[in-house]
Amino acid sequence: MKLQLNSIAQFTIFFLTILLVSCGNPMKMLEKGQYDPAIYASVKKLAGKKKKKAKYVKALEQAFERATMKDMREIEMLKREGREENWVEINNIVKRIKKRQRAIEPLLPLIDQHGYKASFKFVKVEELEIEAKAKAADYYYNEGRRLLALGERGDKNAAREAYKMFQKLDYYYDRYKDEDKLMQRALDLGTTYVLFDVQNHSNVLMPREFDRELRRINLSDLQRKWRQVHSKPVKGIDYDYTATLYITQIDVSPETFKEREYIDDKTIEEGWEYVLDENGNVRKDSAGNDIKIPKKVLIKARVFETYQHKAAVVSGILELTDNRLNELIRSEPVTVEVNFENYAATFKGDERALTEESKKKLGNKPMPFPSDEMLILDAAEKLKPIIKEKLRRATLD
Protein backbone atom coordinates (compact mmCIF):
# COMPACT_ATOMS: atom_id res chain seq x y z
CA MET A 1 0.00 0.00 0.00
CA LYS A 2 1.36 3.41 -0.94
CA LEU A 3 2.12 5.90 1.79
CA GLN A 4 -0.56 8.54 2.21
CA LEU A 5 0.32 12.18 2.75
CA ASN A 6 0.33 13.44 6.31
CA SER A 7 -1.35 10.27 7.65
CA ILE A 8 1.30 9.79 10.32
CA ALA A 9 1.48 13.50 11.13
CA GLN A 10 -2.29 13.79 11.39
CA PHE A 11 -2.49 10.77 13.67
CA THR A 12 0.19 12.31 15.90
CA ILE A 13 -1.68 15.63 16.08
CA PHE A 14 -4.93 13.84 16.81
CA PHE A 15 -3.29 11.78 19.56
CA LEU A 16 -1.73 14.87 21.15
CA THR A 17 -5.06 16.66 20.96
CA ILE A 18 -6.82 13.81 22.75
CA LEU A 19 -4.03 13.81 25.34
CA LEU A 20 -4.52 17.51 25.97
CA VAL A 21 -8.28 17.04 26.14
CA SER A 22 -8.02 14.30 28.72
CA CYS A 23 -5.79 16.21 31.08
CA GLY A 24 -6.51 19.90 30.37
CA ASN A 25 -8.91 22.63 31.38
CA PRO A 26 -10.89 24.12 28.44
CA MET A 27 -10.83 27.63 29.89
CA LYS A 28 -7.06 27.61 30.40
CA MET A 29 -6.57 26.20 26.91
CA LEU A 30 -8.69 28.99 25.50
CA GLU A 31 -6.60 31.61 27.31
CA LYS A 32 -3.41 30.09 25.84
CA GLY A 33 -4.82 30.12 22.30
CA GLN A 34 -5.12 26.34 22.17
CA TYR A 35 -8.47 26.53 20.44
CA ASP A 36 -8.88 23.03 19.07
CA PRO A 37 -7.80 21.31 22.29
CA ALA A 38 -10.24 23.59 24.13
CA ILE A 39 -13.01 22.60 21.71
CA TYR A 40 -12.49 18.86 22.09
CA ALA A 41 -12.05 19.13 25.86
CA SER A 42 -15.36 21.05 26.08
CA VAL A 43 -17.16 18.57 23.84
CA LYS A 44 -15.97 15.72 26.04
CA LYS A 45 -17.23 17.44 29.19
CA LEU A 46 -20.61 18.35 27.64
CA ALA A 47 -21.45 15.19 25.69
CA GLY A 48 -24.13 13.06 27.35
CA LYS A 49 -24.77 15.57 30.17
CA LYS A 50 -28.35 16.69 30.84
CA LYS A 51 -27.20 19.83 32.60
CA LYS A 52 -24.62 21.59 30.48
CA LYS A 53 -22.26 23.63 32.62
CA ALA A 54 -22.19 27.24 31.49
CA LYS A 55 -18.39 27.58 31.62
CA TYR A 56 -17.92 24.71 29.21
CA VAL A 57 -20.63 25.90 26.86
CA LYS A 58 -19.07 29.38 26.79
CA ALA A 59 -15.56 27.97 26.34
CA LEU A 60 -16.75 25.86 23.41
CA GLU A 61 -18.55 28.79 21.79
CA GLN A 62 -15.56 31.11 22.07
CA ALA A 63 -12.96 28.54 21.09
CA PHE A 64 -14.98 27.53 18.02
CA GLU A 65 -15.41 31.12 16.87
CA ARG A 66 -11.74 31.98 17.33
CA ALA A 67 -10.50 28.76 15.72
CA THR A 68 -12.74 29.30 12.69
CA MET A 69 -11.67 32.92 12.30
CA LYS A 70 -8.02 31.98 12.63
CA ASP A 71 -8.31 29.22 10.01
CA MET A 72 -10.23 31.36 7.54
CA ARG A 73 -7.67 34.19 7.86
CA GLU A 74 -4.88 31.69 7.25
CA ILE A 75 -6.64 30.31 4.17
CA GLU A 76 -7.02 33.81 2.73
CA MET A 77 -3.37 34.63 3.41
CA LEU A 78 -2.22 31.39 1.76
CA LYS A 79 -4.41 32.11 -1.27
CA ARG A 80 -3.03 35.65 -1.64
CA GLU A 81 0.54 34.34 -1.63
CA GLY A 82 -0.32 32.50 -4.83
CA ARG A 83 2.11 29.61 -4.25
CA GLU A 84 1.05 26.23 -5.61
CA GLU A 85 2.34 24.35 -2.58
CA ASN A 86 0.05 26.39 -0.31
CA TRP A 87 -2.91 24.33 -1.49
CA VAL A 88 -1.54 21.40 0.48
CA GLU A 89 -1.86 23.40 3.70
CA ILE A 90 -5.22 24.88 2.63
CA ASN A 91 -6.52 21.35 2.16
CA ASN A 92 -5.32 20.40 5.65
CA ILE A 93 -7.00 23.46 7.17
CA VAL A 94 -10.28 22.69 5.42
CA LYS A 95 -10.22 19.15 6.80
CA ARG A 96 -9.54 20.57 10.24
CA ILE A 97 -12.57 22.87 9.94
CA LYS A 98 -14.82 20.00 8.82
CA LYS A 99 -13.63 17.76 11.65
CA ARG A 100 -14.25 20.50 14.19
CA GLN A 101 -17.77 21.15 12.91
CA ARG A 102 -18.60 17.43 12.92
CA ALA A 103 -17.51 17.20 16.56
CA ILE A 104 -19.90 19.99 17.62
CA GLU A 105 -22.88 19.12 15.44
CA PRO A 106 -24.28 16.32 17.69
CA LEU A 107 -24.53 18.81 20.59
CA LEU A 108 -26.70 21.33 18.73
CA PRO A 109 -28.75 23.13 19.80
CA LEU A 110 -26.43 23.71 22.76
CA ILE A 111 -28.14 25.27 25.78
CA ASP A 112 -26.47 25.60 29.16
CA GLN A 113 -28.04 24.90 32.56
CA HIS A 114 -29.19 28.52 32.83
CA GLY A 115 -30.94 28.57 29.47
CA TYR A 116 -28.22 30.29 27.44
CA LYS A 117 -28.12 29.08 23.83
CA ALA A 118 -24.68 29.07 22.27
CA SER A 119 -24.22 30.33 18.73
CA PHE A 120 -22.01 28.56 16.22
CA LYS A 121 -21.43 29.89 12.72
CA PHE A 122 -20.54 26.94 10.53
CA VAL A 123 -18.48 27.51 7.41
CA LYS A 124 -19.41 25.85 4.13
CA VAL A 125 -16.12 24.47 2.87
CA GLU A 126 -17.27 21.79 0.43
CA GLU A 127 -16.40 23.76 -2.72
CA LEU A 128 -13.13 24.97 -1.21
CA GLU A 129 -12.31 21.40 -0.23
CA ILE A 130 -12.82 20.18 -3.79
CA GLU A 131 -10.65 23.00 -5.10
CA ALA A 132 -7.92 22.53 -2.50
CA LYS A 133 -7.87 18.78 -3.04
CA ALA A 134 -7.49 19.18 -6.81
CA LYS A 135 -4.85 21.91 -6.60
CA ALA A 136 -2.84 20.14 -3.90
CA ALA A 137 -2.77 17.03 -6.07
CA ASP A 138 -1.79 19.17 -9.06
CA TYR A 139 1.09 20.61 -7.05
CA TYR A 140 2.50 17.21 -6.15
CA TYR A 141 1.97 15.95 -9.69
CA ASN A 142 3.73 18.93 -11.29
CA GLU A 143 6.52 18.91 -8.71
CA GLY A 144 6.99 15.20 -9.32
CA ARG A 145 7.26 15.76 -13.06
CA ARG A 146 9.77 18.57 -12.55
CA LEU A 147 11.94 16.33 -10.40
CA LEU A 148 11.47 13.44 -12.82
CA ALA A 149 12.88 15.59 -15.61
CA LEU A 150 16.03 16.06 -13.51
CA GLY A 151 16.07 12.31 -12.99
CA GLU A 152 15.98 11.82 -16.75
CA ARG A 153 19.21 13.82 -16.87
CA GLY A 154 20.91 11.50 -14.40
CA ASP A 155 20.01 12.97 -11.01
CA LYS A 156 19.02 9.86 -9.04
CA ASN A 157 18.19 11.79 -5.88
CA ALA A 158 15.76 13.94 -7.84
CA ALA A 159 14.13 10.80 -9.26
CA ARG A 160 13.71 9.43 -5.75
CA GLU A 161 12.13 12.68 -4.59
CA ALA A 162 9.84 12.55 -7.62
CA TYR A 163 8.73 9.09 -6.52
CA LYS A 164 7.77 10.53 -3.12
CA MET A 165 5.79 13.33 -4.77
CA PHE A 166 3.76 10.88 -6.87
CA GLN A 167 3.29 8.70 -3.82
CA LYS A 168 1.60 11.57 -1.98
CA LEU A 169 -1.11 11.77 -4.65
CA ASP A 170 -2.77 8.75 -3.06
CA TYR A 171 -3.78 10.95 -0.14
CA TYR A 172 -6.11 12.82 -2.46
CA TYR A 173 -7.14 10.32 -5.13
CA ASP A 174 -7.03 6.54 -5.49
CA ARG A 175 -5.55 7.01 -8.94
CA TYR A 176 -4.40 10.32 -10.37
CA LYS A 177 -3.77 10.71 -14.10
CA ASP A 178 -0.73 8.61 -15.09
CA GLU A 179 0.84 8.50 -11.62
CA ASP A 180 1.49 4.72 -11.75
CA LYS A 181 3.48 5.08 -14.95
CA LEU A 182 5.42 8.07 -13.64
CA MET A 183 6.13 6.36 -10.31
CA GLN A 184 7.56 3.36 -12.11
CA ARG A 185 9.72 5.64 -14.25
CA ALA A 186 10.94 7.47 -11.13
CA LEU A 187 11.71 4.12 -9.49
CA ASP A 188 13.71 3.01 -12.53
CA LEU A 189 15.65 6.27 -12.75
CA GLY A 190 16.28 6.47 -9.00
CA THR A 191 17.55 2.90 -8.68
CA THR A 192 21.26 2.18 -8.67
CA TYR A 193 21.96 -0.83 -10.89
CA VAL A 194 25.04 -2.98 -10.30
CA LEU A 195 26.20 -5.76 -12.65
CA PHE A 196 28.34 -8.58 -11.28
CA ASP A 197 30.76 -10.04 -13.83
CA VAL A 198 33.50 -12.70 -13.79
CA GLN A 199 36.62 -12.64 -15.97
CA ASN A 200 39.47 -15.12 -16.09
CA HIS A 201 42.89 -13.46 -16.06
CA SER A 202 44.76 -16.44 -14.63
CA ASN A 203 46.24 -17.80 -17.89
CA VAL A 204 44.71 -21.13 -16.87
CA LEU A 205 41.79 -22.67 -18.69
CA MET A 206 38.92 -22.25 -16.26
CA PRO A 207 36.25 -24.95 -16.19
CA ARG A 208 33.06 -23.72 -17.86
CA GLU A 209 31.05 -24.75 -14.82
CA PHE A 210 33.23 -22.56 -12.58
CA ASP A 211 32.03 -19.40 -14.29
CA ARG A 212 28.43 -20.64 -14.30
CA GLU A 213 28.58 -21.57 -10.63
CA LEU A 214 29.82 -18.13 -9.60
CA ARG A 215 27.08 -16.44 -11.63
CA ARG A 216 24.48 -18.57 -9.85
CA ILE A 217 25.26 -16.62 -6.69
CA ASN A 218 22.05 -15.68 -4.89
CA LEU A 219 21.97 -11.87 -4.73
CA SER A 220 18.37 -11.51 -3.56
CA ASP A 221 19.31 -10.33 -0.07
CA LEU A 222 21.43 -7.54 -1.59
CA GLN A 223 18.44 -5.99 -3.34
CA ARG A 224 16.94 -2.82 -1.94
CA LYS A 225 14.22 -0.47 -3.08
CA TRP A 226 16.80 1.81 -4.66
CA ARG A 227 19.51 -0.77 -5.43
CA GLN A 228 19.53 -3.80 -7.71
CA VAL A 229 22.46 -6.18 -8.16
CA HIS A 230 22.32 -8.54 -11.15
CA SER A 231 24.57 -11.46 -12.04
CA LYS A 232 23.44 -11.31 -15.67
CA PRO A 233 22.82 -8.17 -17.73
CA VAL A 234 19.18 -7.29 -18.29
CA LYS A 235 18.26 -5.79 -21.64
CA GLY A 236 17.35 -2.11 -21.47
CA ILE A 237 19.22 -1.37 -18.22
CA ASP A 238 22.20 0.98 -18.21
CA TYR A 239 24.24 -0.25 -15.28
CA ASP A 240 25.65 2.42 -12.98
CA TYR A 241 28.35 0.16 -11.59
CA THR A 242 30.07 -3.05 -12.61
CA ALA A 243 31.52 -5.31 -9.92
CA THR A 244 34.03 -7.52 -11.74
CA LEU A 245 35.73 -10.52 -10.18
CA TYR A 246 39.04 -10.95 -12.01
CA ILE A 247 40.37 -14.48 -11.41
CA THR A 248 44.15 -14.04 -11.29
CA GLN A 249 45.30 -17.44 -10.01
CA ILE A 250 44.07 -21.01 -10.16
CA ASP A 251 46.48 -23.52 -8.66
CA VAL A 252 45.87 -27.20 -8.00
CA SER A 253 48.51 -29.07 -6.01
CA PRO A 254 49.79 -32.54 -6.98
CA GLU A 255 48.16 -35.57 -5.40
CA THR A 256 50.03 -36.48 -2.22
CA PHE A 257 50.00 -40.04 -0.88
CA LYS A 258 52.07 -40.73 2.24
CA GLU A 259 52.44 -43.81 4.43
CA ARG A 260 53.98 -44.00 7.86
CA GLU A 261 54.19 -46.24 10.90
CA TYR A 262 54.18 -45.13 14.49
CA ILE A 263 53.76 -46.65 17.93
CA ASP A 264 51.04 -45.76 20.40
CA ASP A 265 51.84 -46.91 23.94
CA LYS A 266 50.18 -46.54 27.30
CA THR A 267 50.80 -47.72 30.85
CA ILE A 268 47.74 -49.39 32.34
CA GLU A 269 46.87 -51.17 35.56
CA GLU A 270 46.34 -54.89 35.06
CA GLY A 271 45.93 -57.17 38.06
CA TRP A 272 47.98 -56.69 41.23
CA GLU A 273 51.17 -57.80 42.96
CA TYR A 274 52.45 -58.19 46.56
CA VAL A 275 54.72 -55.67 48.16
CA LEU A 276 57.91 -57.41 49.38
CA ASP A 277 60.29 -56.35 52.11
CA GLU A 278 64.09 -56.39 51.87
CA ASN A 279 64.11 -60.10 52.64
CA GLY A 280 61.69 -60.94 49.88
CA ASN A 281 58.78 -61.56 52.22
CA VAL A 282 55.28 -60.15 51.73
CA ARG A 283 54.74 -56.99 53.73
CA LYS A 284 51.83 -56.79 56.17
CA ASP A 285 49.69 -53.86 57.14
CA SER A 286 48.85 -52.94 60.76
CA ALA A 287 45.96 -55.45 60.71
CA GLY A 288 48.25 -58.25 59.58
CA ASN A 289 46.90 -58.36 56.01
CA ASP A 290 49.13 -58.82 52.95
CA ILE A 291 49.88 -55.50 51.19
CA LYS A 292 49.03 -55.51 47.48
CA ILE A 293 49.41 -52.81 44.82
CA PRO A 294 48.03 -52.55 41.26
CA LYS A 295 50.30 -54.08 38.67
CA LYS A 296 51.27 -51.59 35.91
CA VAL A 297 51.84 -52.86 32.41
CA LEU A 298 53.12 -51.03 29.31
CA ILE A 299 50.99 -51.88 26.26
CA LYS A 300 51.71 -50.98 22.64
CA ALA A 301 50.02 -50.84 19.26
CA ARG A 302 51.76 -50.35 15.92
CA VAL A 303 49.72 -48.05 13.63
CA PHE A 304 49.98 -48.12 9.82
CA GLU A 305 48.70 -44.77 8.51
CA THR A 306 47.92 -43.61 5.00
CA TYR A 307 47.55 -39.87 4.33
CA GLN A 308 46.12 -38.32 1.16
CA HIS A 309 46.10 -34.63 0.30
CA LYS A 310 45.23 -32.40 -2.65
CA ALA A 311 44.42 -28.66 -2.64
CA ALA A 312 43.15 -25.94 -4.94
CA VAL A 313 43.78 -22.22 -4.47
CA VAL A 314 41.77 -19.60 -6.34
CA SER A 315 42.70 -15.93 -6.03
CA GLY A 316 41.38 -12.82 -7.60
CA ILE A 317 40.47 -9.15 -7.29
CA LEU A 318 36.97 -7.75 -6.98
CA GLU A 319 36.79 -4.31 -8.62
CA LEU A 320 33.89 -1.87 -8.52
CA THR A 321 33.78 0.53 -11.46
CA ASP A 322 31.61 3.62 -11.85
CA ASN A 323 30.41 3.21 -15.42
CA ARG A 324 29.21 6.80 -15.71
CA LEU A 325 32.67 8.16 -14.91
CA ASN A 326 34.57 5.11 -16.20
CA GLU A 327 36.44 5.19 -12.90
CA LEU A 328 37.64 2.44 -10.58
CA ILE A 329 36.30 3.25 -7.12
CA ARG A 330 37.11 0.10 -5.15
CA SER A 331 39.41 -2.91 -5.38
CA GLU A 332 39.65 -5.82 -2.94
CA PRO A 333 41.69 -9.06 -3.08
CA VAL A 334 39.94 -12.37 -2.53
CA THR A 335 41.47 -15.83 -1.99
CA VAL A 336 40.02 -19.22 -1.10
CA GLU A 337 41.68 -22.58 -0.57
CA VAL A 338 39.96 -25.96 -0.76
CA ASN A 339 41.64 -29.02 0.70
CA PHE A 340 41.01 -32.70 0.18
CA GLU A 341 42.43 -34.71 3.10
CA ASN A 342 41.92 -38.32 4.00
CA TYR A 343 43.45 -40.48 6.71
CA ALA A 344 43.22 -44.26 6.80
CA ALA A 345 44.80 -46.59 9.36
CA THR A 346 45.15 -50.17 10.57
CA PHE A 347 47.02 -51.42 13.62
CA LYS A 348 48.67 -54.43 15.24
CA GLY A 349 49.00 -54.91 18.95
CA ASP A 350 46.87 -53.96 21.90
CA GLU A 351 43.90 -51.78 20.86
CA ARG A 352 43.78 -50.26 24.32
CA ALA A 353 47.07 -48.45 23.58
CA LEU A 354 45.55 -46.41 20.73
CA THR A 355 45.11 -42.66 21.16
CA GLU A 356 41.79 -41.00 20.35
CA GLU A 357 43.34 -39.49 17.23
CA SER A 358 44.45 -42.92 16.01
CA LYS A 359 41.03 -44.43 16.73
CA LYS A 360 39.37 -41.84 14.45
CA LYS A 361 41.47 -43.05 11.53
CA LEU A 362 40.64 -46.71 11.97
CA GLY A 363 38.16 -48.15 9.52
CA ASN A 364 38.84 -45.48 6.92
CA LYS A 365 40.11 -46.55 3.54
CA PRO A 366 42.11 -44.73 0.89
CA MET A 367 39.77 -42.79 -1.42
CA PRO A 368 39.97 -41.75 -5.07
CA PHE A 369 41.41 -38.24 -5.40
CA PRO A 370 38.94 -35.59 -6.61
CA SER A 371 39.56 -34.20 -10.07
CA ASP A 372 41.07 -30.76 -10.55
CA GLU A 373 37.73 -29.50 -11.88
CA MET A 374 35.85 -30.79 -8.83
CA LEU A 375 38.18 -28.96 -6.45
CA ILE A 376 37.93 -25.75 -8.46
CA LEU A 377 34.13 -25.96 -8.38
CA ASP A 378 34.29 -26.42 -4.61
CA ALA A 379 36.40 -23.26 -4.52
CA ALA A 380 33.67 -21.45 -6.47
CA GLU A 381 31.12 -22.51 -3.86
CA LYS A 382 33.41 -21.23 -1.12
CA LEU A 383 33.89 -17.95 -2.98
CA LYS A 384 30.18 -17.11 -3.15
CA PRO A 385 29.57 -15.90 0.42
CA ILE A 386 32.85 -13.96 0.37
CA ILE A 387 31.91 -12.21 -2.86
CA LYS A 388 28.41 -11.49 -1.59
CA GLU A 389 29.73 -9.84 1.57
CA LYS A 390 32.20 -7.73 -0.42
CA LEU A 391 29.40 -6.71 -2.81
CA ARG A 392 27.22 -5.81 0.17
CA ARG A 393 29.87 -3.43 1.47
CA ALA A 394 30.83 -2.09 -1.93
CA THR A 395 27.35 -1.25 -3.23
CA LEU A 396 25.77 0.48 -0.25
CA ASP A 397 23.84 3.58 -1.38
pLDDT tens digits, one per residue of 118-167: 999 999 999 999 999 999 999 999 999 999 999 999 999 999 999 999 99
Enter the DSSP assignment of 119.
-
Across 117-121, 181-185, 288-292, least confident range = 288-292
Residue 349 scores a pLDDT above 80: yes
Provide the pLDDT for residue 204: 82
Q: How confident is the model at residue 214 (pLDDT cuts 50, 70, 90)?
A: confident
Provide the pLDDT for residue 5: 44
What CATH class is the domain 192-397?
alpha beta
Provide the pLDDT for residue 14: 53
9-28 as b/e, with b when 16 or more CB fall inside 10 Å? ebeeeeeebeebbeebebbe
Q: Average pLDDT, stretch 299-317? A: 94
Provide the pLDDT for residue 295: 84
Closest CA to 343 of 260, 245, 237: 260
Residue 62 scores a pLDDT above 50: yes
For 37, other C-beta atoms within 10 Å of its C-beta total 22
288-314 as b/e, with b when 16 or more CB fall inside 10 Å? eeeeeeeeeeebebebebbbbbbbbbb
Across 155-164, 178-187, 360-369, least confident range = 360-369
Q: How confident is the model at residue 284 (pLDDT cuts 50, 70, 90)?
A: confident
How many Cα atoms within 13 Å fall on the side-chain side of residue 348? Answer: 2
Provide the residue type at 250 as one letter: I
Q: Are 62 and 110 in contact (CB under 8 A)?
A: no
**CA 257 from centre of chain:** 49
Q: Determine the Cα–Cα distance for residues 128 and 102; give it in Å rounded to an integer.
A: 17
Provide the pLDDT for residue 207: 82
> What is the share, in percent, of the chain residues with pLDDT greater than 90?
70
158-176 as b/e, with b when 16 or more CB fall inside 10 Å? bbbbbbbbbbbbbbbeeeb
Provide the residue type at 387 as one letter: I
Mean per-residue pLDDT over the chain, rounded? 89
Q: Is the pTM of this model over 0.75?
A: no
Helix (H, G, I), strand (E, B) or coil at 236: coil
Closest CA to 380 of 243, 206, 244: 206
Question: C-alpha distances in angstroms, 290 versus 208, 281, 285?
Answer: 81, 10, 7
Q: Average pLDDT, stretch 297-319? A: 93
Helix (H, G, I), strand (E, B) or coil at 334: strand
Residue 110 scores a pLDDT above 60: yes
Residue 339 scores a pLDDT above 50: yes
Q: Determine the Cα–Cα distance for residues 224 and 204; give it in Å rounded to an integer.
A: 36
Enter the DSSP assignment of 284.
B
For 207, other C-beta atoms within 10 Å of its C-beta total 17
Residue 87 scores a pLDDT above 50: yes
Residue 287 scores a pLDDT above 90: no
Q: How confident is the model at residue 99 (pLDDT cuts 50, 70, 90)?
A: very high
Question: C-alpha distances in angstroms, 379 versus 213, 215, 241, 297?
Answer: 10, 14, 26, 50
Q: Average pLDDT, stretch 239-266? A: 93
**Domains of the chain: which residue ranges?**
7-186, 192-397
